[in-house]
Amino acid sequence: MKKYNFSAGPAILPAEVMKEAGAACVNFNNSGFSILEISHRSADFSAVLAEAEALVREIGGIGEEFAVLFLSGGASSQFFMAPMNLLDDSGKAVYVDTGSWAAKAVKESKAFGPTEVLASSKADNYTHIPKGYTIPADATYLHLTSNNTIFGTQLAEYPETDVPLVVDMSSDMFSRPFPVDRFGIIYAGAQKNLGPAGVTLVIVRKDLLGKVDRHIPTMLNYNTHIEKGSTFNTPPVFPIYVMMLTLRWVKAQGGLEAVAKNNEEKAAVLYKEIDENPMFAGTVTQKEDRSLMNVTFVMADEYKELEGQFLEACKAAGCMSVKGHRSVGGFRASIYNAMPKEGIETLVKVMQDFRAAHA
Ligand code: PMP
């Protein structure tokens, strides 16, 4: 039976990427060496790094005013690295609190300078994206989480503002086009849409750096990694290689417009079933805030006791990891770029069969 991985991350990658990565573990580029043992300063790996950067630039339309970095420490390290490099007491960082990851970013920023939360949906358990807030024109940056992996919400649009956006795109990076010129920093842990865990893609507007009045430890200074092309220390060679393969795949799909269209179609099939099937209910209160990446839903009140049975039915059909995040409960189907349509059709069939059996 074919199994589909609906996990939120580490998550599904394109089958052909995993196959090629597997072969490279044995013999990379016909070199007689594994990708796991080659030097990060070898010509072979330098070519991987160069191609990964070129693909990020091409796919995202990222110009030379931005540096493209491949760092370690996860997206969580960017929660402090961004304010450490951009913010001091002379500035002010503003945040929108759309979920647990956003709240963690706020907490770290407070250590580096004035930090204000412009809007929060915490009181509603993050079931929607707050709107209608005013962005102070003098803010150093506005931090946003583009997709809230746990709560299944996603920013439909980025705000129009001259304040540089610092955006945690971990769970929807390269799933749709974005307005590059509004961004100061984009960061994304790879383990959802980009590759395996272990590398974080960071895109930084270079002119924002070097302005804060503090000592920044060498490894935490973006300029260190810019000057050394992400090889100041040993970078995560294998995750970067797999990210490069995944980016080739994104390009071959037709780039971000094509990927976004596919993601919209896939999500629509699943949300339609959630809306039409009386056994289930969506958790996001405003439809325009629904994530195209992490689809969250619950058992309708009168069927709550069947939750465990539904998860068993999913597993029996090969739909794995549909259980919701431990802080939310219910169900979450993560349908990143690499989730094929058949995976979603299989899950929808499980929901329909469950209805036929129980409703
Ligand atoms: N931000 C978001 C939106 C996430 O989904 C996650 C991980 N699930 C993180 C940050 C943390 O990423 P990491 O584990 O790479 O530190």
For residue 248, the CA-to-ligand 1 centroid distance in Å is: 23
The minimum-distance atom of ligand 1 relative to the CA of 200 is 15
Q: Classify burial at 272, counting beta carbons within 10 Å of its beta carbon; exposed 0-12, middle 13-18, buried 19 or more.
A: exposed
Q: How far is CA 326 from the centre of its chain?
A: 19
pLDDT at 35: 98
User: 15-252: which CATH number, 3.20.10.10, 2.60.120.620, 3.40.640.10, 3.40.250.10?
Assistant: 3.40.640.10
pLDDT at 327: 86
Which regions of the chain carry the CATH code 3.40.640.10?
15-252
Q: Whose CA is nearest to atom 9 of ligand 1?
A: 75
According to the annotation, is 101 in a ligand binding site?
yes
According to the annotation, is 234 in a ligand binding site?
yes
User: 255-358: which CATH number, 3.90.1150.10, 3.40.50.2020, 3.40.50.300, 3.30.70.360?
Assistant: 3.90.1150.10
pLDDT at 359: 87
Q: Which residues are catalytic?
A: 101, 168, 192
Which regions of the chain carry the CATH code 3.90.1150.10?
255-358
- Token pair in block for residue 95: 């945040």
Instruction: Identify which of 96, 104, 143, 149 to mutate to test ligand 1's pocket (most ligand atoms within 8 A of the CB).
Output: 149
pLDDT at 16: 97
Q: Whose CA is nearest to atom 10 of ligand 1?
A: 75
Place of tokens 């010509």: 43
- Token pair in block for residue 3: 């199994």
Q: Whose CA is nearest to atom 6 of ligand 1?
A: 170
Residues with CB under 6 A from ligand 1: 9, 74-76, 101, 145, 149, 168, 170-171, 189
According to the annotation, is 41 in a ligand binding site?
yes
| Run means of pLDDT, 10 residues per run, the chain, 359 residues | 97 97 97 97 97 98 98 98 98 98 98 98 97 97 98 98 98 98 98 97 98 97 98 98 98 98 98 98 97 98 97 98 94 98 98 96
ipTM: 0.99
What is the largest distance, in Å, between two alpha-carbon atoms of the chain? 65
What pTM value is reported for the model?
Answer: 0.98
SS (H, E, C) the chain: CCCEECCCCCCCCCHHHHHHHHHHHHCHHHCCCCCCCCCCCCHHHHHHHHHHHHHHHHHHCCCCCEEEEEECCHHHHHHHHHHHHHCCCCCCEEEEECCHHHHHHHHHHCCCCCEEEEEECHHHCCCCCCCCCCCCCCCCEEEEECEECCCCEECCCCCCCCCCEEEECCCCCCCCCCCHHHEEEEEEECCCCCCCCCCEEEEEEHHHCCCCCCCCCHHHCHHHHHHCCCCCCCCCHHHHHHHHHHHHHHHHCCHHHHHHHHHHHHHHHHHHHHHHCCCEEECCCCHHHECCCEEEEEECHHHHHHHHHHHHHHHHCCEECCECCCCCCCEEEECCCCCCHHHHHHHHHHHHHHHHHHC
For residue 148, the CA-to-ligand 1 centroid distance in Å is: 9
